[in-house]
Structure 1
Amino acid sequence: MSQLTFPDFEYARPDLDRLETAFHAVLEALKTADSLNDASAAVEQIDSIRASVATAYNIGYIRYSIDTRDEFYRTEKDWFDQHLPRTEQWRVDYYRALLDSPHREALEQHFGSQLFDSAKVSINTFRPEILDELQQVNKLSSEFTQLRGGAAIELDGTTYNLSSIAPLEQVPDRDKRKKASTAKWDWFAQNRQRFEDVYGEMVTLRTEMARKLEYDSFVELGYANMNRTDYGPAEVANFRRQIQEFIVPIAQKLYDKQRERIGVDRLRYYDLGFRFPDGNAKPQGDPAAIVAHADKMYRELSTETGEFFQYLQDAKLMDLEAKDGKAPGGYCTFINEYQAPYIFSNFNGTSHDIDVLTHEFGHAFQVYSSRDQRPMEYNWPTFDAAEIHSMSMEFFTYPWMEGFFGPDTEKYYFSHVAGAFRFLPYGCAVDEFQHRVYDNPTLDNDGRNAIWKEMEAKYLPHLDYSDHPHLADGTFWQSQGHIFSVPFYYIDYCLAQICAFQFFLRDEQDHTGAWADYVKLCRAGGSKSFLQLVELAGLENPFEDGVVERIANRMRERLGV
């Protein structure tokens, strides 16, 4: 029997009326169940109904991402934007039934407490009164994706998109770097008003949703939407304080070393992506050669990863190369009914191509490892824990980097570790920016840009935008998609990076033990909360005072600053 491939996966718009009727029938069975067996069977049936909707959405979203100009899947994406929010009521009704079930104690023993902890956090994230706002936010999010996906950046008679212009921002010739980077940011400047207005509308709509749900601000609702069951804004603020105190000074030394290394008097915005005077580390070979070496790498890393990467290739569950009309960025998603992860990316000839094959593969390996977890909430952990899998996989694959980079391997190692380290202040800037914005939702566009300038001064004091008026106005945040589409999903990367650094340091001392804990973490999926998963993997809690400082000092030694 031949392998079923992604192009063969069947897409059909879900009949929400029919599914809603079926859902309510099963929900009633859950409420009136006579035994644990009957109640758990109802949970599994509800999973099946919800999985069918998720499957259709993800197949359609992937095909839309691959070509945002495809009229059929663009129409389907618009339809989901309009109609998917009604299924939020299903989720809330389901969670309420779980919490009120006479078999709750037995169900909690059967499925574990995380489902019920999540239900308690999520139960007040939807009411029918916010349906209109959800639909409008979805529409705006799609407009943002289409705007970025359709970017046409003219440079020297050639048209680039946001992915394909990136290599030109990393060339040794400084004038050419400046020209390419200026062209990109000029495109953002030309579309600035719409970017700002889209976000302003989103902030207003999200704040109105929070008001209707009786939260003090969208910050609380945002945290509930992120399913954060064991920490809140206070813990995150303390974490950001530690990053500012212990990471920012080291990051500034890294930037100063970079300035000296590439021989410039000041690091300008068009210098940041250029790391070495003879050019950045670049992968060798075309995309087919890169995938071939990745296949070898994963076969040698472990039996599980080897078999899984082969499956991704055979089932055509990756779309890696940049193309016109393709949405920018990269992601991994999961097609429930096929139990198939999917990796989406935009290869552009930079080291980022390899980072995607490790980072997104880490996500895919995790969800595939926990695909049999029930209920479906346990297929994925919360975003904070999920990023541990992806970022740690980047380090576990270090022994095979020479096959990608050849003589540039040492440059890649340094750039990758330094880049991960320097990301932490930026991630905190994005997070605090969002807190400030949603705490002050009546600010206008200039007010939000002023907050971003404060964040740059606090976390990213090396930035020099003095020769680009658009960026000097505090607009860099408008290029960060998470701010628009997934509010408060960013500090997760920072928390996970501190955990991934721990796996990196452990792997150097004891690969077998570190890898075993990593696989255990992947198989646990979302069956535990973030801090419980951190403990399961034998990692230190990144919120605890002293942990960031210890990691910072150990990584500083490796970076030589």
Structure 2
Amino acid sequence: MKFKDYLYQRPNIDEIKAKYEASIEQFKNAKDAQTQIEVIKNVFKISDEVDTMQQLVSIRYSLNTQDEFYTTETDFMDEVLPTIQNYGNEFQKEVVASPFKQELIDAFGQYYFDQIEVQLQSFDEKIIPLMVEENKLGSKYAKLIASAQIEFQGGTYNLSQMSPFTQNIDREIRHQAQLAVSGFFKSIESELDELYDQLVKVRTEQAVLLGYPNYVSLGYKRLGRTDYDETDVRAYREQIKRDVVPMVRKLGKRKSVRLGIKDLKSYDTIAFLSGNPTPKGDVTWQLEQATKMYQELSKETHEFFTFMKESELLELDSKKGKASGGYCTFIPGYKAPFIFANFNGTSHDVDVLTHEAGHAFQVYQAKDFINPSQRFPGYEACEIHSMSMEFFAWPWMESFFKEDATKYYFNHLSSAISFLPYGALVDEFQHEVYQNPTMTPKERKDTWRRLEKIYLPDKDYDDDTFLDSGTFWYRQIHIFDSPFYYIDYTLAQVCAFQYWIRNHKDHKEAWNSYVALCKLGGSKGFVELMKSASLESPFVDGTIKKTIEPLFAFLDTIDDTVL
């Protein structure tokens, strides 16, 4: 079946409520563990039915944010999902109170109960109106960003379509493209400030109603973090400041020499004077290369990618009205991953394809898990799959980039290392914002710029006074949509670097470990999944330094001045 034929029907809230109420009664009246086990399995099915419809609405709305039908259905979902979550919450209260709890743990695993615990601690019926408001504000941000119509060099472009200009070989074109993008964000500055202010307040209000001093602890629980906390993350960020920032500055100096530009500016986004590496064909051609790559990588990837193509589960073109960014999600009723991207002719096309394919490959391996919450792991473990897949794809990069392959290797690895400080910056910024929720918009911008100078000390915005005022974070969707998620990318990157090292030593061992990790899905927490895959924890002091040293040794083997 093709994706276009996947059937959407608006969920009937009364029917869903009746199903949950009946399940709760059956569960409470059960005389033995086996009966309760069967009720739990049935509730998993109810959850999948709702989630299937929610995913179809979300995907089809993101494909065209101007589609009136799916705009209406998105508003409907924003309204009712918190109520549906409440039904599930009431059922989970009964599960943790079961007299047959040990038998249930034997059937579904201890981690199932750990997940229920953080869910119960992060939800209560009294915050439903606030959650509805939060959902609507998130949808408003997506629509606002998708509305970009930027006039540049005789054309009109959305944000994704501006990327080739911001990476143009001509420095002045890059400069003017940055100013044009900043001009768009400046035109909606007051709206974004107000929108984010409302999001911070509505999230803080939820936290206070649930008994938390601020949103930080609640945000961690909403992300399902069961085996580490903000203290671990703070110590991890300190490693980045100490061990990564100085190394990234060295990469900046290499780039300065390479480009022959003494004082690099924020618009000097190209890595090489001859231009950044670019894929040597259009979307269709890149898909052909990806098909060949996954056919050759392993039998598992061959089967997976064939399914994705034949079912038309990849939407890669950038189009008017399409939401920005890229993502992978899963449609449970069809056991189908879905990949969404906005190709723009840059190397990012290949990165986002391999990245999202890593997510999709993982959930395809775990698609038969009956527990919906354990097909994907937590966000930080999820990103191990995606970022590691980018590295496992390296042997095929010559197919995509031809003569630019060495450029790609150097740029991909150095960019991944350079990303760590930015990811930690986003995280520390959010901690400061939610620990001080009464900050004014100006105070938030000042906070961003102050932290930027710690994590990215060489960033110089030149004459872009808008960005220099501390507004770069406007374009980081995670800050608006998913508080505290962004650090997960960096945690996973450190783990993915370890797979890069292992893959260079013994491909078979590394790949088998990776596939085994994918098949575990979300059956364990982040720390336990790392142990299962013999990955060293980023939270342990010294792990980051130990991990990036071999990467720099590799980069030192490349004479980047000739690229």
What TM-score comes out, normalization by structure 2 length?
0.98
Aligned to 1:67: 64
Aligned to 2:17: 20
Aligned to 1:481: 477
**Which of 227, 235, 240 matches 1:238?**
235
Aligned to 1:309: 305
- Summarize deviations over 1:489-537 as a string: whole Å, max 9, x none: 0110011000000001000111111111100000000001101100111
Instruction: Read off the aligned partner of 2:257 and give its amino acid letter.
Output: E
Does the alignment pair 1:323 with 2:319? yes
Aligned to 1:348: 344
Q: In structure 1, what is the Cα distance between the partners aligned to 2:28 and 2:555?
A: 58
Aligned to 2:119: 122
Does the alignment pair 1:247 with 2:244? yes
Q: In structure 1, what is the Cα distance between the partners aligned to 2:317 and 2:62?
A: 12
Does the alignment pair 1:414 with 2:410? yes
Aligned to 2:296: 300
Q: In structure 1, what is the Cα distance between the partners aligned to 2:252 and 2:318?
A: 29
- Summarize deviations over 1:235-276 as a string: whole Å, max 9, x none: 0000000011001101111112112211212111111x2110
Would you say how many aligned residue pairs link Structure 1 and Structure 2? Answer: 557
CA contact (8 A) 1:13 1:56 kept: yes
Aligned to 2:209: 212
* Structure 1 residue 315 displacement after superposition: 0.2
Instruction: Read off the aligned partner of 1:295 and give its amino acid letter.
Output: T
* Structure 1 residue 556 displacement after superposition: 1.8
**Which of 220, 224, 230 matches 2:221?**
224
Aligned to 1:533: 529
Q: In structure 1, what is the Cα distance between the partners aligned to 2:190 and 2:462?
A: 21
Q: In structure 2, what is the Cα distance between the partners aligned to 1:28 and 1:363?
A: 37
Q: In structure 2, what is the Cα distance between the partners aligned to 1:109 and 1:245?
A: 44
CA contact (8 A) 2:216 2:434 kept: yes
**Which of 104, 113, 125 matches 2:110?**
113
Map 1:110-509 to 2 at 5 A: 110-271=107-268, 273-509=269-505
* Structure 1 residue 94 displacement after superposition: 2.5
CA contact (8 A) 1:69 1:325 kept: yes
- Summarize deviations over 1:13-57 as a string: whole Å, max 9, x none: 100111111111112222222222211111111011111111001
Q: In structure 2, what is the Cα distance between the partners aligned to 1:36 and 1:410?
A: 59
CA contact (8 A) 2:497 2:548 kept: no
SS of the residue 1:373 aligns to: coil
Identity %: 44
Q: In structure 1, what is the Cα distance between the partners aligned to 2:32 and 2:487?
A: 42
Does the alignment pair 1:32 with 2:29? yes
CA contact (8 A) 2:266 2:462 kept: no
SS of the residue 1:282 aligns to: coil
Q: In structure 1, what is the Cα distance between the partners aligned to 2:459 and 2:230?
A: 27
CA contact (8 A) 1:246 1:549 kept: yes
Moved more, 481-490 or 36-45: 36-45
- Summarize deviations over 1:366-413 as a string: whole Å, max 9, x none: 011001113111111000100000000000010000000000000000
* Structure 1 residue 97 displacement after superposition: 1.5
CA contact (8 A) 1:262 1:275 kept: yes
Instruction: Read off the aligned partner of 2:402 and give its amino acid letter.
Output: G
SS of the residue 1:165 aligns to: helix
CA contact (8 A) 1:111 1:374 kept: no
Q: In structure 1, what is the Cα distance between the partners aligned to 2:33 and 2:416?
A: 47
SS of the residue 1:164 aligns to: helix
CA contact (8 A) 2:57 2:70 kept: yes
* Structure 1 residue 140 displacement after superposition: 0.8
Aligned to 2:541: 545
Does the alignment pair 1:10 with 2:7? yes
CA contact (8 A) 1:246 1:552 kept: no
SS of the residue 2:417 aligns to: helix
SS of the residue 2:337 aligns to: strand
CA contact (8 A) 1:27 1:46 kept: no
* Structure 1 residue 64 displacement after superposition: 0.6
Q: In structure 2, what is the Cα distance between the partners aligned to 1:225 and 1:91?
A: 15
Instruction: Read off the aligned partner of 1:78 and give its amino acid letter.
Output: D
* Runs of 4+, deviation exceeding 4 Å: none
* Structure 1 residue 286 displacement after superposition: 1.4
Does the alignment pair 1:43 with 2:58? no
* Structure 1 residue 466 displacement after superposition: 3.4
Q: In structure 2, what is the Cα distance between the partners aligned to 1:75 and 1:431?
A: 33
Q: In structure 2, what is the Cα distance between the partners aligned to 1:53 and 1:279?
A: 47
Q: In structure 2, what is the Cα distance between the partners aligned to 1:179 and 1:453?
A: 22
SS of the residue 1:296 aligns to: helix
- Summarize deviations over 1:193-217 as a string: whole Å, max 9, x none: 1111100110001000000000111
CA RMSD in angstroms comes to: 1.0
CA contact (8 A) 1:343 1:360 kept: yes
What TM-score comes out, normalization by structure 1 length?
0.98
Could you list the runs of 5+ residues in structure 2 that have no partner in the other structure?
558-563
Instruction: Read off the aligned partner of 2:47 and give its amino acid letter.
Output: R
* Structure 1 residue 127 displacement after superposition: 1.4
Q: In structure 1, what is the Cα distance between the partners aligned to 2:265 and 2:496?
A: 30
CA contact (8 A) 1:43 1:375 kept: no
Q: In structure 2, what is the Cα distance between the partners aligned to 1:545 and 1:397?
A: 30
CA contact (8 A) 1:68 1:326 kept: yes
Instruction: Read off the aligned partner of 2:194 and give its amino acid letter.
Output: D
- Summarize deviations over 1:101-121 as a string: whole Å, max 9, x none: 111111111111111011112
